[in-house]
Amino acid sequence: MSSKPTWEMIQNMLRLSNIHTYYGNIHALKGIDIQVEQGEVISLIGANGAGKSTTLLTTSGIVPAKKGVVELEGEDITHLPPDEIVKKGICHVPEGRRIFPYLTVAENLDMGAFLRNDKEGIKEDIHYVYSLFPILADRRNQAGGTLSGGEQQMLAISRALMSRPRILLLDEPSLGLAPIIVKQIFDIINKINQDNKTTIFIVEQNANLALKAAHRGYVMENGAVTMSDTGENLLANEDVKKAYLGM
């Protein structure tokens, strides 16, 4: 995406500083630094096992950092419980979607709005997500578990939007989906960013699409950030091309 954030949008939204995260003895994040400005789409790419999901899990407080600081607009949120972090406007769509399979599409969306009580706003947002993904409107009374993989991803993103997040964390939105559906989902991710100035932090193995969709990107290897630049420059970088774009 070529449009750059304007000056009034430039404000440090999320900052990870020297983050170390462990699973028992496994040192999954080894001192990473990532900054996300307000209104940006950021993509973090890397091979399987690099630490991408852990980065999001640490940001949302599910697997807290052992060392380092996570800040939301300058406030230290490193050790807040996950539900407090959600309330502050960080909404995490985990890998593998995890919608409620026995609830209908409409009920899943209601669940996304459970922290809100502005009925009118909720109604507006339901219209909005149905306009983004008309197939969900057609299937509104169908159980979530009966949707295709792509439709479940659309529902997972829509449910997250129902909380009116300030930052949307998306873990591998393309995983297991047909290329045409993936393209559609990435187009909508950019539309969400443009419509609402929602800040979006994507982690992806599909480096090509993720970098095309992003203002800036980070490359991660073995729990460390090895490169960061504009999406455009990373797409043109010879090392990135070889390692992640199959060229």
Ligand X SMILES: Nc1ncnc2c1ncn2[C@@H]1O[C@H](COP(=O)(O)OP(=O)(O)O)[C@@H](O)[C@H]1O
Binds ligand X by CB under 6 A, chosen from 2, 3, 25, 26? 26
Residue 25 near ligand X by CB under 6 A: no
Residue 66 near ligand X by CB under 6 A: no
Residue 217 near ligand X by CB under 6 A: no
CB of 126 to ligand X, least distance (A): 31
Quick one: tokens of 64?
């807290």
Number of chain residues interacting with ligand X (CB under 6 A) = 11
Distance from C-alpha of 33 to C-alpha of 16, rounded to nearest angstrom: 5
For tokens 């960061």, what's the residue?
A: 228
Residue 23 near ligand X by CB under 6 A: yes
Stretch near ligand X under the rule CB under 6 A, chosen from 52-60, 68-76, 110-118, 162-170: 52-60
Stretch near ligand X under the rule CB under 6 A, chosen from 45-53, 151-159, 183-191, 228-236: 45-53
Nearest to 2 by CA among 178, 193, 209, 230: 230
Residue 174 near Mg ion by CB under 5 A: no
SS3 (DSSP) at 231:
helix
Residue 43 near Mg ion by CB under 5 A: no
Say if residues 10 and 38 touch (Cβ distance below 8 Å): yes
Binds ligand X by CB under 6 A, chosen from 53, 60, 108, 174? 53
- Give 175: exposed, middle or buried? Use CB within 10 Å, 0-12, 13-18, 19+: middle
Give the CA angle between residues 235, 97, 245 to the nearest 5°. Answer: 15
Stretch near ligand X under the rule CB under 6 A, chosen from 5-13, 42-50, 124-132, 187-195: 42-50
- Residue type at position 41: V
Residue 52 near ligand X by CB under 6 A: yes
Reported as half-sphere exposure (CB side, CA atoms, 13 A), residue 77 has a value of 27
Q: Which residues of this chain interact with Mg ion, rule CB under 5 A?
A: 52-53
Q: Which residues of this chain interact with ligand X, rule CB under 6 A?
A: 23, 26, 28, 46, 48-54
